[in-house]
């Protein structure tokens, strides 16, 4: 499994940064490999991604979401894709976005790409494009979802 951790400081208030991130259907505007995201329900997403010429479609469930703090998700089915993005107020006009992504590279090209850090560079580029998107709007988001999704307890009750 590949794990990617990246962070970036965005010159916008935390409410705008978080708000833009909740607009999942806009991800193709800044995420290089995301072709489309469809929000099926408050906690369900349908992803279409293309990596190394291979297209994958998968469903993901938002496992935890707290306004202006964090969003976590995990894929359903055969594709392994999970992550968490957290939002940290640096000051009134600066927000740190920290992203951790866990995924299972499939096939030779993806495994080599992950081994040499191409996936890390791709995520770093995605965050830079997100920063440009929100800062280019003078800190205004396309929308905002303020729902709260609590993390479900695992089988041991934790």
Q: pLDDT digits over 80-106, tens only?
A: 889 999 999 999 999 999 999 998 767
Greatest extent of the chain over all pairs of C-alpha atoms, in Å:
46
Distance CA 10, CA 126 (A): 13
pLDDT at 130 (0 to 100) = 96
Query: CA 67 from chain center: how many Å?
Result: 15
pLDDT at 158 (0 to 100) = 41
pLDDT at 139 (0 to 100) = 60
In CATH terms, is domain 2-136 a member of 3.30.530.20? yes
Q: pLDDT digits over 22-55, tens only?
A: 999 999 999 999 999 999 999 999 999 887 788 8
Q: pLDDT digits over 109-118, tens only?
A: 666 666 666 7
Closest of 26, 121, 103 to residue 58, by C-alpha: 103
Q: Rg of the chain over CA atoms, in angstroms?
A: 15
pTM to 2 decimal places: 0.85
Query: What integer is the mean pLDDT of 139-156?
Result: 64
pLDDT at 157 (0 to 100) = 45
Where are the chain's structural domains? 2-136
Closest of 151, 154, 130 to residue 19, by C-alpha: 130
pLDDT at 56 (0 to 100) = 86
Angle at 25 between CA 107 and CA 17, to 5 degrees: 105
The rounded mean pLDDT for the chain is 86
Question: Taking 70 as the threshold, does the pLDDT of residue 155 lie above it?
Answer: no
């Amino acid at each position: 499994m590949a794990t990617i951790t990246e962070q970036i400081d965005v010159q916008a208030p935390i409410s705008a940064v978080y708000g833009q991130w909740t607009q999942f259907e806009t991800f193709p505007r800044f995420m290089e490999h995301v072709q489309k995201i469809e929000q099926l329900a408050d906690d369900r997403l349908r992803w279409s991604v293309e990596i190394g010429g291979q297209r994958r479609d998968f469903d993901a469930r938002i496992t935890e979401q707290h306004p202006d703090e964090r969003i976590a998700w995990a894929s359903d089915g055969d594709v392994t894709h999970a992550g968490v993005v957290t939002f940290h107020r640096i000051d009134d006009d600066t927000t740190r976005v920290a992203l951790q992504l866990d995924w299972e590279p499939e096939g030779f090209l993806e495994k080599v790409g992950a081994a040499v850090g191409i996936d890390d560079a791709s995520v770093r580029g995605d965050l830079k494009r997100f920063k440009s998107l929100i800062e280019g709007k003078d800190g205004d988001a396309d929308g905002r979802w303020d729902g709260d999704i609590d993390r479900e307890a695992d089988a041991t009750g934790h």
